Chains A and B, each alone.
Chain A
Amino acid sequence: MNLTIILAVTVVLAVVSFFITRLNKKAGGFLTVIASLFAFVGLFLLKGSIGGEFSIFYFSFKITMVGWYFALIMVLAYSMTSFFNPFWMDKMMYPGSYNFMYLLSMAGTIGMFFAKDFITLFIFWETVVWSSTFIIQLGKSRKASYVYYVVSAIGSMATLFAIMMAYSVSGTFVISEAFAGLSGGAAIAVFFTFILSGLAKIGIFPFHVWLPAAHGNAPHTFSPVLSGGLVKMGAFIAFLSVTAFPAYEIFSGMFKVMGTPFPIYFLMALGAISIIVGTLMAIKQEDAKKLLAYSSVANGGYILIGILMLDQVGFAGGMMHLVNHAVASAAAFLAIAAVAYRTGTTKMSEMGGMIHRMPVTYIVYLVAIISMAGIPPMGGFVSKWLIFQGLADKGMLFLAAAAFFGSIGSFMYVFRPLSAVFLGQTFTRDLKKKEVGFFMMLPMLILTALSILAGVFPNTILRVITEIQASVGISPVTLAENTIVTVNGYLDAFRVFIVFGFGFTIAFVIFIVRRKSKKVELMDTYTSAEFIHTRELLHYSSKFYAPFERLYDKAPDTMKLYKKIAVKIGELGNLTESLFYGHKPEKTVFWVMITGIFVVIIGGVV
C-alpha cells in the first residue's frame, strides 16, 4: 500500500462526502465509515514499506515504525467512531462540513505522523487543529471550541518558534537533523517551546483546561476521536522531543534528579501533577463525558512520563498505554454516546439502570473502565505495570506516588458513571429504551475485544514497541514467550487472565444461583411525610463523593489563570485604544510631537 494513495483517497473522499451529505445525510455519514476503514486497512498494509521516503507535492514523508504505530492508533479511533456518524447526521447543524472536517482531520493526522520535515508536520498538525475546532463548535458549547483552539494555538505557535529557531542553527527542517548543533540556552529554549504543543495536546497541566471543555462538549461522535485519537498527537511530539531532539544527550551535563536531567524531570513532574489533577477533578464531575475527559488528563500524564523516560521498561509502558488508553477511552466515550443516543443526556444524575436496557453497552463501558483503571486482565494493567516498573527502577518516588495515586483514584471515578448510568433503578422515562443497533454496537465490541486482547496477549503490541525502541537506539524491553521480563520481576499476562477469569466465573455462578434481588422504584422510599419531586436528588450517584470532594473544593481553577491573561490582553487593548485612538486630532498631534522629541533626543540632535 502506498501512503500517497491513502492520503489522496481520504482527502478526495472528504470533499466527496461534503457534497454527498448535501444530497443524502446518511450516505455522507456512511462514506466517512468507508473512508476511515479504507485508511485503516491501508495503513495496516503500509508496514511493509517502512523506511521508505517519498514526497507528494512539496510535502516530504518518511515511513517510520513509530509513525506507523501512532497513525494506526489514530485511525483506529477515527474508523471505530465513524460508525456512529450516520446516526448523528440529523442532529448536526452542518452535517456536510462535519463529514468533510472529520476526514480532513484524519488525513491530517496521518500526514503528520509520517512527515519527514517539520514544516510538513506543522502544516498537517495545524490543519487538524482548525478542522477539529470547527467540529467541536457543533457540539454543546461554543466556548469549548474557542478554548480548544486557543490552547492548541499556544502549543503550536511555541512549536513553530522552536522549529524556526532550530532551523536557524542547523539550516534544515528535516526532523532527524533539524536539532543538530543546538547547545546551551538555545537548546533549553528549543526543548521547552518545542514540546509545548505536545503538552497542550496531551492535556498536561496547566494546559489540561481544553480537555473537559472540548471532550465534554464536542459532538458525541467526536469526543471519542478527541480522547482516543487527537491527544495522541501530543504524545508524538513528546516522543520527538526526546528522540529527534536528543534531550538526554544535550542535557547530560545538567543538574540531574534521580539520574534524569532536570528539564526532562521537570516535564515528568508536570505529568505527575496532571495525573493528580486529572484524577481529583474527574472524581468531582457530574457529567460522564467531562469525567472521562479528566481521566484522559490523568492518563496523558502516564503517557508523558512513560515516553519521556526513554528507557527499556517505562518507555515501553508509555507507548503501550497509548494503545490501551486510545482503545479504552474511545470505547468508553462511544458507550456514553450510545446511551446519550437513546436518552439524550450525559448528565449522570439523569440516568440510571441502563444495564437492563443496554446490556452490551454496559459491558463495553465496564471493560473500558477496567482497562483505564489499570486493573487486570485488561490492557491498561500491563502498560501501567510497565510504567510503575520503570519508575520504581529509577527510584522516582514522587512520580511513582502520583502514578499510584492516579491508579487508586481512578477506581473512584470510573466506578461512578458505571453505577450512576448503568446500575441502580431505571428511570421510567428510559424503560422503553432499546439497545443501540448492531452497526453502532460493532465498533464498541471491536474495541472491547482489543482491550481484552491487549491485556491477555500484550506481547503482540510490545513486539512493535521493541522495534520502535531499537529504532531510537535504546535497549528493547525483554519479552519471553508470553511474559514480560523486567529487573524486578516478570509478568505473564495470560496467567493473570486465567486467574481473573476463574474468579469471574465463580462470581458469575454465584450471581446466577443466588436469588434475585427485589427491584424497587427510585421514588419508592420513606421520606417521613415529605414529598420529594426532584428525583435526581434521590439518585444514587448525586453528591457521590461529597465528603471527599470537600477536601479540595477550594483548589484553584486553572481556567482562571487563562481568563486573567485574557483580561490582561484586553486591558492592553483598552489602553491602546484610549491612549492613541479618539475622534479628535489633538491626541495624534500630541503623540507625533512626543515621538518627534523622543527621536530627536535618541538621535542626539539636541
Chain B
Amino acid sequence: MINPVFMIAIPLILAFLSLVAARIKKWLLLSGVLINIAILFFLEKGETVIGGFKPPFGINLILDNYSMVGLALAGLLLLAGVVLSLDKADKYSTVLLTALAGINGMLLTGDLFNLFIFMEITIISAYILSTAGKKPEYSFNYLVIGSIGSVFYLAGLVVFYSLTGTLNMADLAAQNLSMGTPELLVPLFLIFTAFAIEAKLIPFGGWVKGVYGNSNRLTGALFASVYASTVLFVFGRVFNEVFALSGAVQTIIVLIGVVTFAFGEAAAFRQVKMRRILLYSSIGQSGLAAALFALGLIFPAVLLVISNAVSKFIMFSITGKLREIYKTDDYTDLKGVFFSNKLTGIAFSISAMSLIGLPLFFGFYAKLNALTALFNGGNWFIPAVILLFAIVEGAYFIRLLIALWAPGKEGEIADKSHAVGEIRIFNIKKSILVFILSLVILAAGLIPDLAGKLISSDSGFMGGDGPAFTMSQLKGGE
C-alpha cells in the first residue's frame, strides 16, 4: 500500500526536476501523469497523518471513496489531455505537474488551511495556463478575481479559526456548527465566494468568458474537465462534510446554483462560437452540480460532474483543434466538418448527447438520478427548471450537431459538396483515443448500474445516499 502523500510529492518532485532537466520535461510530464494513475489504485485508504502530529493539530489526508473518484477522474482526464496535446503540453510541463500536485492535494486534504494552499497552487497554475490564449487582459481579469476569492477564503478561515480554534475538516464538522447564526453567515459566505468564483457560479464567474473563450485544445479541455471537476468535488466536500448547510444559507446557495444553470443554458443558446457554447454550457452544468451538492444530493451531483467532465473534455479538445485548423470556431463556418472526420464526429456527438441527457448515454443516468433524488426530497420546482432548460440545452447542442454533420442549403438535400474542408481534425491515433473516450460514455450509459457501483461502491459518499435511481430497480418492480 502506498502512502497518499506520494500523490502530491511525486508530481512536485518531477516539477522541480523539469526545471533542472528542461530537455526531458515532456517525458517527465508524461511519466508524472502516468505514475499518478498507476499508484492511484494502490493507495492506502482512510486517514493518513502527516508530520506525526495527530489531527486536529497536524495535517491529515483523507482518501475515501469520494476523493478516490475525484482523483481518478482528474488524473485520467489530465493523462488524456497530455497525451492528446503533448505538443502543447510540453511548454507547460512544469505548470501541469505542479497543477497535478495541487489538484491531488485539494482532493485529498483533510484540513481547510491546507486546502487553501493547494487551491492556490492549482489556481496559479491555471493563471499561467490561461496565458496560452495570448490575451493578457483575460488572464489578468482571472488573476484579479481569483485573488479576491483567495483573500475571501483566507478571511473566512480566520473567522472560523477564531471561533472554533480549528481548521481540521473532521474537527470542524464534529463541532456541529449551526449555520443559521449570523456570526457564521459572513465567514461562510466568504468561503462560498471563493469556491463560487472557481466553480463559475453566476454572478461570481465573470472571468470564464475570456479564459475559456480563448482556450486552446489543451487548456480548454483541462479547464472545463480537470479543473472544473476538482473544484466541484471540493465544493461538495466542504459544503456537506464540513459545513452542513441548512435554512436560508442553503436556499441561497441552491438558488444561485439553479439560476446559474438556467442563465448559463440561456446564454449558451444564443452563441454561434463553439467555445462560447461550451463555456456557457459548462457554467450551467456547474451551477446544477453546485445546487445538488448544496442540497446534499452528493451521488447525483458526482455523476453529473463526471459526465460533464468527460463530455466537455472531448468537446473542448475537438473544438480547440477545429479552431487551430480553420482559425474559427463559429459553427456556421464549420458546416459539415465531420463528414471527413466521422470518428471524431461520433465522439463529439456522443459527448453532446450525453450532456443533453439523452438515453443510452451516461448523462441520462446522471439526470435520472438527480431528478429522482430531488423528487424524493419533495422538490418539484428544481426538476421543472432542470427539464425546462434541458430543452434549451438540447436545442443548441442538436443545432450544433446538425450543422457540423449535415451541410446543405435549405430546400436542398444535405450534400457533401457544401462541407468545409477535408482536413483531418485529429490523426488516426488521436481520433481513436477520443473515440474510445466517448465510448466510455456510451458504455457507462448502457450499463449504468455497474458504472454507478464503480463510482460509489454502492454505499454512496461521505455517509450520504447511494444511487437514488438504479436501472435494476425497474426489474424488481419495487
The residues of A with any CB-CB pair to B shorter than 8 Å are: 55, 57-60, 91, 93-94, 117, 119-120, 122-124, 126-127, 129-130, 133-134, 137-143, 145-146, 149-150, 153-154, 157-158, 160-161, 164-165, 167-168, 171-174, 219, 566, 569-570, 572-574, 576-577, 579-585, 587-589, 591-592, 594-596, 599-600, 602-605
**B411 near A141 (CB under 8 angstroms)?**
yes
Q: Which of A153, A595, A603 has the most CB of B within 10 A?
A: A603
Enumerate chain A residues within 8 angstroms of B371, measured Cβ to Cβ.
160, 164
CB within 8 A of B474: which of A58, A124, A160, A569?
A: A58
Enumerate chain A residues within 8 angstroms of B415, measured Cβ to Cβ.
93
What's the minimum C-beta distance from B113 to chain A, rounded to whole angstroms?
A: 22
**A142 near B406 (CB under 8 angstroms)?**
yes
**B186 near A600 (CB under 8 angstroms)?**
yes
With A127-B359, A581-B209, A602-B248: A120-B474 Cβ-Cβ less than 8 Å: yes
**B477 near A172 (CB under 8 angstroms)?**
yes
Please give me the residue from chain A that is nearest to B471 by CB atom: A58
With A150-B395, A588-B206: A599-B383 Cβ-Cβ less than 8 Å: no
Please give me the residue from chain A that is nearest to B253 by CB atom: A599
CB within 8 A of A173: which of B384, B401, B474?
A: B474
With A149-B394, A573-B266: A171-B478 Cβ-Cβ less than 8 Å: yes
Is B51's beta carbon under 8 Å from chain A? no
CA distance A591 to B372 in the complex (A): 33
CB within 8 A of B209: which of A137, A153, A582?
A: A582
For the complex, would chain A's binding face be called helix, strand, loop or mixed by DSSP majority?
Answer: helix
CB within 8 A of B182: which of A94, A172, A583, A605?
A: A605
Is B264's beta carbon under 8 Å from chain A? yes
Which 3 A-B residue pairings sit nearest by Cβ, starting from the closest? A58-B471, A588-B206, A591-B203
Please give me the residue from chain B that is nearest to A154 by CB atom: B391
Is B170's beta carbon under 8 Å from chain A? no
CA distance A591 to B256 in the complex (A): 12
Enumerate chain B residues within 8 angstroms of A594, measured Cβ to Cβ.
203
Contact flags (1/0) for B352-370 with A, using CB distance below 8 Å? Answer: 0100001110001000100
Contact flags (1/0) for B265-296 with A, using CB distance below 8 Å? Answer: 01111110000000010000000000000000
Contact flags (1/0) for B9-44 with A, using CB distance below 8 Å? Answer: 000000000000000000000000000000000000
With A130-B358, A219-B413, A588-B203: A573-B395 Cβ-Cβ less than 8 Å: no
CB within 8 A of A581: which of B208, B402, B472?
A: B208
Please give me the residue from chain A that is nearest to B449 by CB atom: A58
**A157 near B390 (CB under 8 angstroms)?**
yes
Please give me the residue from chain A that is nearest to B202 by CB atom: A580
What's the minimum C-beta distance from B455 to chain A, rounded to whole angstroms?
A: 17
Is B173's beta carbon under 8 Å from chain A? no
Is B144's beta carbon under 8 Å from chain A? yes
Contact flags (1/0) for B167-201 with A, using CB distance below 8 Å? Answer: 00000000000000011011001000100010000
With A93-B414, A146-B398: A153-B405 Cβ-Cβ less than 8 Å: no
**B411 near A161 (CB under 8 angstroms)?**
no
CA distance A161 to B381 in the complex (A): 10
**Interface size bucket, B side?**
35 or more
CA distance A569 to B269 in the complex (A): 7
CA distance A126 to B413 in the complex (A): 25
**What are 9 contact pairs spanning A and B, CB under 8 A?**
A60-B475, A123-B359, A126-B358, A130-B398, A142-B403, A168-B376, A588-B197, A592-B193, A602-B248
CA distance A167 to B478 in the complex (A): 11
**A599 near B189 (CB under 8 angstroms)?**
yes
**A167 near B372 (CB under 8 angstroms)?**
yes
**B411 near A588 (CB under 8 angstroms)?**
no
Please give me the residue from chain A that is nearest to B419 by CB atom: A93
CA distance A59 to B471 in the complex (A): 8
Q: Which of A122, A580, A587 has the most CB of B within 10 A?
A: A580
What's the minimum C-beta distance from B449 to chain A, rounded to whole angstroms?
A: 7
Contact flags (1/0) for B156-173 with A, using CB distance below 8 Å? Answer: 000000000000000000
Q: Which of B208, B252, B360 has the most CB of A within 10 A?
A: B360
**A603 near B410 (CB under 8 angstroms)?**
no
CA distance A560 to B175 in the complex (A): 58
**A140 near B395 (CB under 8 angstroms)?**
no
**A600 near B185 (CB under 8 angstroms)?**
yes
**B182 near A140 (CB under 8 angstroms)?**
no
**A58 near B185 (CB under 8 angstroms)?**
no
CA distance A185 to B57 in the complex (A): 56
Enumerate chain B residues within 8 angstroms of A55, measured Cβ to Cβ.
474-475
With A139-B414, A603-B248: A580-B203 Cβ-Cβ less than 8 Å: yes
CA distance A59 to B248 in the complex (A): 41
**A572 near B358 (CB under 8 angstroms)?**
no
CA distance A103 to B360 in the complex (A): 16
Q: Which of B197, B271, B402, B472 has the most CB of A within 10 A?
A: B402
Enumerate chain A residues within 8 angstroms of B223, measured Cβ to Cβ.
none
CA distance A161 to B382 in the complex (A): 11
With A58-B475, A150-B394: A165-B380 Cβ-Cβ less than 8 Å: yes
Enumerate chain B residues within 8 angstroms of A168, measured Cβ to Cβ.
375-376, 378, 380
Enumerate chain B residues within 8 angstroms of A141, measured Cβ to Cβ.
410-411
With A58-B471, A603-B182, A603-B249: A596-B266 Cβ-Cβ less than 8 Å: no
With A143-B410, A605-B185: A93-B339 Cβ-Cβ less than 8 Å: yes
Q: Which of A120, A134, A594 has the most CB of B within 10 A?
A: A134
**B206 near A153 (CB under 8 angstroms)?**
no
Enumerate chain A residues within 8 angstroms of B477, measured Cβ to Cβ.
60, 117, 172, 174
CB within 8 A of A161: which of B137, B189, B384, B449?
A: B384
In B378-425, which residues have CB < 8 Å from any A CB?
Answer: 378, 380, 383-384, 387-388, 390-392, 394-395, 398-399, 401-403, 405-406, 408, 410-416
What's the minimum C-beta distance from B435 to chain A, rounded to whole angstroms?
A: 15
**B410 near A127 (CB under 8 angstroms)?**
no
**B145 near A573 (CB under 8 angstroms)?**
no
**B402 near A93 (CB under 8 angstroms)?**
no
With A570-B266, A592-B204: A145-B402 Cβ-Cβ less than 8 Å: yes
**B406 near A164 (CB under 8 angstroms)?**
no
What's the minimum C-beta distance from B164 to chain A, rounded to whole angstroms?
A: 18
What's the minimum C-beta distance from A336 to chain B, rounded to whole angstroms?
A: 15
CA distance A129 to B364 in the complex (A): 14
**B390 near A153 (CB under 8 angstroms)?**
yes
Is B299's beta carbon under 8 Å from chain A? no
**A138 near B413 (CB under 8 angstroms)?**
yes
CA distance A54 to B122 in the complex (A): 52
CA distance A139 to B409 in the complex (A): 10
Enumerate chain A residues within 8 angstroms of B189, measured Cβ to Cβ.
595-596, 599-600
